[in-house]
Amino acid sequence: MVGTFRSPSGEEFQRDIVRSPGAVGVVPVRDIGGAPTVVLVCQYRPPLDRMVLEIPAGVRDVPEELTEATAARELAEEVGLRAGQMDYLINYYTSAGMTDSVLHLYLATDLSSVTATAHGPEEEHMEIVELPLAEAIEMVVRGEIRDAKTVIGLLLVDRRLRG
């Protein structure tokens, strides 16, 4: 949509904007042999026309649903996991120059298996990938993991777990 705005000095201008209900992302972490391991998904992203490695996430498409409930639902749907502990990390503007979308990030631990229920062609063809957190952080540093919510989530979780 095209919106009309006024600058702080009163000048009127137009910008293309995308209105969004926002989204959630979840960094699921397992303790495997004393080392934190993250559960990611590799899925096709049409705007990029490529497979992208990222944390489980989704749009807040259920009206009035709390962000933690959306995060729990997405975790179950995409990777078939339930968190015994869900800790809020941060919320941030995904692209303040073009959308009002806010993404809420969670750390999910004490994980148990549930039935995954894929929705849409992207999820039907995605692969679940488990990596040591240290390896995932190195992939961020090397530019191999480039999805913003994933970069932010992995770095925040790494920092939190290091104390």
Active-site pick, 122, 123, 135, 138: 122
- The residues, ordered by sequence, that sit 6+ positions from 47 with a Cβ below 8 Å of its Cβ are none
122 flagged as catalytic: yes
Using CA of residue 39, residue 42, residue 45, residue 50, what is the dihedral sign? positive
Please tell me what DSSP assigns to residue 134: H
Residue count of the chain = 163
Give how far the C-alpha of residue 57 lies from the chain's centroid of Cα atoms, to the nearest Å. Answer: 4
Active site residues: 122
